[in-house]
Amino acid sequence: MSSLYVSNVSKSYGATEILRDINIDVEDGDFLVLVGPSGCGKSTLLSLIAGLDTLSGGEIRIGKDKVNDLHPSERDIAMVFQSYALYPNMTVGQNISFGLEMRKVPKPARDKAVQDAARLLQIEHLLDRRPGQLSGGQRQRVAMGRALVRDPKIFLFDEPLSNLDAKLRVDMRTEIKKLHQRLGATIVYVTHDQIEAMTLATRIAVMKGGILQQLGTPAEIYNTPANTFVATFMGSPSMNLLPARIVRRGGELRLLLGEGAAAIDLPLPPQPAAIDSHVDREVIAGLRPEAIGVEHGRPGAVLRSVPVTITVLEPTGPDTLAALELAGMEVAARLGPDLAHQCGERCELMVDLSKLVLFDAQTQQRIA
Ligand code: ADP
């Protein structure tokens, strides 16, 4: 396994800039997920790492070696595609061993590698079938088996679960995570699915419009998003973004949430000093749905009661999604399943202000 360094990488097709100045370091054993909306450049970046396309600028290193000019076959990476790209006329076993055969690996070693991979992926009973006789999930396993036997420096996955139905996606997601934990492999994984990103990654790179928005652990991305795009892209329902104003009263910083007569005045928990330059300025207050309607404060919680009107309640089983009117604005909340509130009710709910994230209203960047 190996580390991967993407330094100042850019890519243009003619005059069209697809990737701008991307910097990502992937440590040995990291599971990096590239996530972002369709067209943001994720697959292009993966292709550059794989060597399927050439860089317009910057450098890619695998371990100590600069690989910009190396052919894909010389980079010692294995790729699992969305389409699986299996050979229809070969058996599962032949599909898995084909790459090794091309590399002139002797037959006994090939057979052992195929058996080991098949055992790991629990497809030993399928080795004599052809891809056409397999389910989507089984084909996905074969595609992974083909990558596994290579024992490459890095695995690249391009939306490997997007052709599977919802239930199978979740099962295979767990399989991939287990595989990573077992192998300690370095993985770069492309998806547009924020849940896949959160659940699989040790580190997430959020992209938009060919620009890296934030690189961090899932917790960093979720709790301290770099800007309002990352805040709303990650998490479902999205983080509520509410117009607000910071004011200083009696030496204390307070947040005026909302506008006009409906605004609510809340004490601000201790914030970084950078907040001082935003006093008496418009900001955007970010509150996750689960930070509203908190019943049991965890250690460190800063709970304040706020008046709301409940407009919609959607029980999902483990929790209830609610639309609320708060400070004259509609917000989404994730409430406990046993909450004894009715639709249309006016009530007080607890908000955990320690979870509040503030953004500059102009730049949309988090105020750090
Ligand atoms: P993603 O994987 O995030 O959906 P892609 O990397 O596939 O995005 O594409 C990023 C952008 O680059 C898109 O706007 C796409 O139209 C453009 N693009 C991709 N390949 C080419 C190409 N060969 N020529 C011109 N534009 C391309």
Q: Which of 12, 35, 43, 44 to mutate to test the pocket of ligand 1 (most atoms within 8 A of CB)?
A: 44
In this predicted structure, what is the pLDDT of residue 271? 79
Helix pair 136-148, 92-102: axis angle to 10 deg: 20
> Is the CB of residue 11 below 6 angstroms from any atom belonging to ligand 1?
no
> Is the CB of residue 37 below 6 angstroms from any atom belonging to ligand 1?
no
In this predicted structure, what is the pLDDT of residue 9? 98
Q: What confidence tens digit (pLDDT) does each residue in 185-221 have?
A: 899 999 999 999 999 999 999 999 999 999 999 999 9
Residue nearest to atom 25 of ligand 1 (CA): 13
In this predicted structure, what is the pLDDT of residue 270? 81
pTM of the model: 0.91
Compute the C-alpha angle 85/89/93, nearest 5°. Answer: 75
Q: What confidence tens digit (pLDDT) does each residue in 291-340 have?
A: 999 887 788 899 999 999 999 999 999 999 999 999 999 999 999 887 77
Peptide bond into 237 cis (omega under 30): yes
> Is the CB of residue 38 below 6 angstroms from any atom belonging to ligand 1?
yes
- Residue 122 near residue 141 (C-beta atoms within 8 A): yes
In this predicted structure, what is the pLDDT of residue 336? 86
> Is the CB of residue 39 below 6 angstroms from any atom belonging to ligand 1?
yes
End-to-end alpha carbon distance in the chain? 35
Phi, psi (rounded to 5 degrees) for 193: -95, 115
Ranges of residues in the chain with a pLDDT under 50 are none
Question: Which pair of structure tokens corresponds to residue 55?
Answer: 């860089």
> Is the CB of residue 44 below 6 angstroms from any atom belonging to ligand 1?
yes
